[in-house]
Amino acid sequence: MSDSRVPRRRRFLVCEPRYFDVRYAINPWMRSGVPVDTGRAHAQWRALVDAYRAHGHTVETVPPVPGLPDMVFAANAALVLEGRVFGSLYHAPVRRPESVPYEAWFKSAGFEVHHPESVCEGEGDLVPAGRWILAGTGFRTTPEAHREVQEFFGVPVIGLTLVDPLFYHLDTALFVLDEETVAYLPEAFSPGSREVLARLFPDAVLAGREDALAFGLNSVSDGRHVFISPGARALAGQLADRGYVPVPVDLSEFHKAGGGIKCCTQEIRS
Q: How far apart are CA 170 and CA 218, in angstroms?
A: 9
The arrangement of strands across the sheet holding 220-221 comes to 220-221, 225-228, 245-248
Residue type, 176: V
Active-site residue, from 169, 225, 255, 264: 169
Convert 197-216 to b/e letters by CB count within 10 Å (16 or more is b): beebbeebbebbeebbbbbb
Active-site residue, from 15, 120, 263, 264: 263
- Of 249, 237, 180, 170, the C-alpha closest to 208 is 237
Residue 169 catalytic? Answer: yes
Residue 57 catalytic? Answer: no
Q: How far apart are CA 47 and CA 30, in angstroms?
A: 23
Q: Any idea which residues carry the catalytic annotation?
A: 169, 263
